[in-house]
Amino acid sequence: MSPSFRTPVALWWLVGAGILMGSVEYFGRRATAYIIDKPGPGAFFGNLAFFIPRRYANAGRRFVWWQLACMILFGLWWLVGASLVLPG
Burial degree of 42 (CB within 10 A; 0-12, 13-18, 19+): exposed
Spatial contact of 10 and 50, defined as CB atoms under 8 Å apart: no
What residues does each domain of the chain span?
8-60+69-85
Q: How many CA atoms lie within 13 Å of 11's alpha carbon, on the beta-carbon side?
A: 3
Model pLDDT for residues 69-85, shown as the tens digit of each residue = 999 999 999 999 888 87
Residues 64, 29: Cα–Cα separation, whole Å: 10
What pLDDT sits at residue 41? Answer: 67
Residues 82, 84: Cα–Cα separation, whole Å: 5
Model pLDDT for residues 21-76, shown as the tens digit of each residue = 999 999 999 998 998 876 666 666 666 777 788 889 999 999 999 999 999 999 99
